[in-house]
């Protein structure tokens, strides 16, 4: 099945912080309106999988909105805008940094941004949002040994359960970095699926442990954002990724 799974990070009110993966509140609000005008219904990954498994019907045009890293401004800015439109989202939290900041970006020219604390994450969960794991320390899993892969995957799940009383069912690979071995560890750990930035598969849900996402960014115009929601764009990025993999450009996957 092909559907847009959007990958957001920070949603900023006021002046831009200089964080490269942020969108402004005004831009995000316009994008939400575009999504609704196009007839999409925002759902969780859990509901998507139930639909794929025939356990529950899916809406005619499903879309999933995901937010990596669990920035506090998602709670402060994005959530109210989505709540006003009765839209739900999925947040991927970095377990060792809940209530902290994006320390993994130090030395990369990125500003320091606050992350949600446990109470803020729980409030999203209570409002119907889905909480997933983004690892313990935001590591690129393809670049570390198996023991650290397992620690990121397994410990982050148990740690978020202890903090939030919620068992994460889905994982987002930091930097889109994964291997076939990583996928197997996720299965063994009990995750239902995972999302990435890239996939060698032709459709979004063909490999449920590496579902391709589309990233809106500050440079998107209204037209380019609408294009990213379209089946034509999803087919294009699948073709682009397959060329990359076949050419060995992402041989770590």
> What is the pLDDT, as a whole number, of residue 246?
73
> What is the pLDDT, as a whole number, of residue 9?
98
Q: What angle do CA 150, 176, 39 make, to 5 degrees?
A: 120
**Are the C-beta atoms of residues 164 and 129 closer than 8 Å to each other?**
no
17 vs 191: CA distance, rounded Å: 34
Helices 156-164, 118-126: axis angle to 10 degrees equals 80
9 vs 116: CA distance, rounded Å: 12
For the stretch 147-199, pLDDT in tens is: 999 999 999 999 999 999 999 999 999 998 889 999 999 999 999 999 999 99
The domains located in the chain, with CATH, are 5-246 (3.20.20.370)
**Are the C-beta atoms of residues 167 and 157 closer than 8 Å to each other?**
yes
Helix (H) or strand (E) holding 239: helix 231-246
Measured distance between the N- and C-terminal CA atoms of the chain, rounded to whole angstroms: 22
Q: Helix or strand or coil: residue 87?
A: coil
**Are the C-beta atoms of residues 60 and 16 closer than 8 Å to each other?**
no
For the stretch 75-118, pLDDT in tens is: 999 999 999 999 999 999 999 999 999 999 998 989 999 999 99
> What is the pLDDT, as a whole number, of residue 243?
86
> How many Cα neighbours within 13 Å face the side chain of 249?
11
92 vs 197: CA distance, rounded Å: 14
């Amino acid at each position: 099945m092909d559907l847009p799974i959007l990958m957001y990070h920070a949603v900023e009110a006021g002046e831009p912080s200089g964080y490269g993966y942020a969108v402004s509140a005004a831009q995000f609000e316009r994008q939400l309106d575009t999504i609704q005008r196009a007839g999409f219904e925002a759902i969780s990954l859990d509901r998507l999988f139930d639909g794929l498994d025939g356990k529950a019907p899916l809406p005619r045009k499903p879309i999933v909105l995901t937010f990596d890293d669990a920035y506090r401004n998602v709670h402060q800015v994005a959530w109210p805008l989505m709540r006003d439109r009765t839209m739900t989202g999925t947040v991927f939290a970095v377990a060792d940094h809940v209530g902290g900041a994006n320390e993994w970006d130090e030395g990369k020219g990125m500003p320091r941004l606050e992350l949600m604390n446990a109470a803020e994450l729980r409030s999203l969960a209570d409002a119907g949002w889905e909480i997933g794991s983004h690892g313990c320390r935001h590591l690129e899993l393809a670049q570390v040994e198996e023991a650290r892969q397992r620690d990121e995957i397994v410990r982050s799940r148990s740690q978020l359960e202890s903090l939030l009383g919620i068992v994460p069912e889905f994982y987002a690979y930091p930097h889109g970095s994964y291997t076939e071995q990583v996928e197997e560890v996720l299965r063994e750990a009990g995750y239902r699926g995972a999302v990435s930035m890239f996939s060698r598969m032709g459709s979004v849900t063909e490999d449920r442990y590496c579902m391709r996402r589309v990233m809106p960014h500050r440079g998107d115009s209204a037209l380019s954002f609408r294009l990213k929601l379209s089946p034509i764009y999803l087919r294009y990025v699948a073709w682009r990724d397959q060329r990359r993999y076949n050419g060995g450009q992402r041989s770590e996957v």
